[in-house]
Amino acid sequence: MNPSITNTRAGKRYTYEWYVVAICMLAYVFSFIDRQVLAPMIEPIKHDLHLTDA
């Protein structure tokens, strides 16, 4: 096989792998931010809806 073709295929594969890693990391960051934003809002939401812990 031609070495330049092999290097091109390997480069495309690594590009795709890093793309998948970036998408997974972005999903994790959004998940973390969502948890951090919701936590301080629990008490106002409970008060507004007249909810208790019981």
Chunk the chain into consecutive blocks of 10 residues (it has 54) and report each block's average pLDDT, rounded to whole numbers. 60 86 97 90 92 86
Q: What is the pLDDT of residue 4?
A: 54
Q: Domains in the chain: how many in total?
A: 1
pLDDT at 28: 97
pLDDT at 5: 56
Tell me if 22 is assigned to some domain.
yes
pLDDT of residue 29: 96
Within-domain flag for 28 = yes
Range of the domain at 18: 3-48
In-domain check, residue 32: yes
Q: How far apart are CA 26 and CA 20, in angstroms?
A: 10
Nearest to 9 by CA among 17, 31, 20, 40: 17
> What is residue 20's predicted lDDT score, i.e. its pLDDT?
95
Q: Does some domain include residue 53?
A: no
Q: What are the counts of helices (DSSP H) followed by strands (DSSP E) for the chain?
A: 2, 0
Residue 7 included in any domain: yes
Q: Is the pTM of this model over 0.85?
A: no
Considering the domain boundaries, does residue 16 fall inside one? Answer: yes
**What pLDDT, on a 0 to 100 scale, did the predictor assign at position 14?**
84
